[in-house]
Structure 1
């Protein structure tokens, strides 16, 4: 069977919730060189080839992590649909313990699976330093591996394989203590009241909001925020078994939240060309000619 190639780090089931009436999104990427947002299908944005694939020595690719992400997305998609439908209808929503845990696990997984996440950037920036320290410790213990080490250091393909597999390991790893901790967080759902306002979705779509006093999840005012549609944002809250619902009436908060998303992301997408372009202008891009 041919291995899956295009791996979405923001899944299509989430992107569709930000699409316009043509089932497309207005998309912009800093490195694209294009001055204006482009209208794209969800399938054609927010992906990298073989991003979630472990590279085997045989040259084959193990895409089991991509399968695991797809299974998680299939579990969360109907729950997101229920949350969005009830939020937009103004109905009270009380999630079960299982649903709250699923939401928290999904938000955490989405936070760490993107190429611009902290863990992925750390591997990209610090791989050589980690490699050299590990080799130094190995040589201090014994010199019998010197020839093997030199062969490996001269093999760029082997080193890229190790780096990629470390990335996959970080994305896959779920410490039992972290899982237990996530299960104890309450979940909040925010809905935009002003029909003229909307959230965008970005290539690094989870924002961590903190307070002056704390940056620890579970503390008051601290949480992971993930927009799950153009009108609804899901977030982790304090420890407890509640589901917190709120109407977002502060237009400035919405704007600042979108700016925070864009400030940590290379790609931006949304249902409105004007909204996406307004956020790229803030980032210093040239004026886009209207058509």
Structure 2
């Protein structure tokens, strides 16, 4: 008889397969939290950062648990690990990736889910959607129905369960045809650091927006990017299914790291001095809508 495996409880909202690309020479992440003193930079393993117990576990009224969303993300991360490894190898070799239809399909979905799966992003979306009021109204309807049918309307933890399950259902929702149609009009901008002394950081809310220098010295409007590795970040390109590699200098890297840090409560990376500098100089602005 095979032993039944317990469901995974520790759910990473920044996948470990990405975090490993930001570790130092000892395979650890330097990190800082906003409840630490400024400059108090610590180290930890990837498995212990950007993780919440049962973040994606849906609980039914009878108490049974559903981990389908965690399984879905785990499968996506398996494909994502190869995608990132292959992309990074090609770019570091000075070549331009040639994405086929399947790669574009995967990237569109990974990009969509990655931007909305973290607790900080969830909280921001909830505030924008008057989530608390809607959950309160739903709970009152459930209680009224139970009272009318002779059942106990005062189930312990009902509000918390309904709220958590609503978030998980929203997390599991696939991109709409309209969103995918918009994605299909976009390409992939790849921002590369060539100076080994510089690096990107990763924050607890995926994605940030920073201005980029244009030809002629002008600056773009703030543009969305996601760091995938310590030397490569990606964003959408306003050219249909094209790929452009953009080398970023020290000033640009600093702007991008500042943008990541400003919307994060936890930041991590391979460089202790970089995180220390950011902890001293970057205030928290919260999760603002991305452009």
TM-score using structure 1 length: 0.82
Aligned to 2:147: 147
CA contact (8 A) 2:209 2:256 kept: no
Aligned to 1:25: 29
The 1:149–1:110 alpha-carbon spacing in structure 2 relative to 1, beyond 3 Å, is farther
1:215-239 Cα offsets, whole Å, 9 max, x none, are: xxxxx96753111111101111124
Counterpart Cα distance in 1 of 2:96 and 2:23 = 25
CA contact (8 A) 2:38 2:276 kept: no
Aligned to 2:289: none
CA contact (8 A) 1:200 1:268 kept: yes
Aligned to 1:202: 203
The 1:134–1:42 alpha-carbon spacing in structure 2 relative to 1, beyond 3 Å, is closer
The 1:8–1:132 alpha-carbon spacing in structure 2 relative to 1, beyond 3 Å, is closer
Counterpart Cα distance in 1 of 2:153 and 2:260 = 38
CA contact (8 A) 1:107 1:206 kept: no
Greater displacement, 271-280 / 155-164? 155-164
Point out where structure 1 has 5 or more consecutive residues left out of the alignment: 212-219, 286-291
Greater displacement, 8-17 / 184-193? 184-193
The 1:100–1:208 alpha-carbon spacing in structure 2 relative to 1, beyond 3 Å, is farther
Counterpart Cα distance in 2 of 1:190 and 1:242 = 14
Aligned to 2:6: 2
Greater displacement, 149-158 / 53-62? 149-158
1:65-85 Cα offsets, whole Å, 9 max, x none, are: 001001111112111111111
1:70-109 matched pairs, under 5 angstroms: 70-109=74-113
CA contact (8 A) 1:103 1:187 kept: no
Say which SS state the counterpart of residue 59 (structure 1) adopts: coil
Q: Displacement of 1:121 after TM fit?
A: 3.3
List, as ranges, runs of 4+ consecutive aligned residues in structure 1 with deviation greater than 6 Å.
149-153
Aligned to 1:129: 133
Say which SS state the counterpart of residue 157 (structure 2) adopts: helix
CA contact (8 A) 1:113 1:171 kept: yes
Counterpart Cα distance in 2 of 1:148 and 1:192 = 63
CA contact (8 A) 2:258 2:282 kept: no
1:267-282 matched pairs, under 5 angstroms: 267-282=266-281
1:129-175 Cα offsets, whole Å, 9 max, x none, are: 11345578x69xxxx74835998874451111110111101111013
1:9-32 Cα offsets, whole Å, 9 max, x none, are: 000000000011111110111135
Q: Displacement of 1:254 after TM fit?
A: 1.1
Counterpart Cα distance in 1 of 2:191 and 2:68 = 34
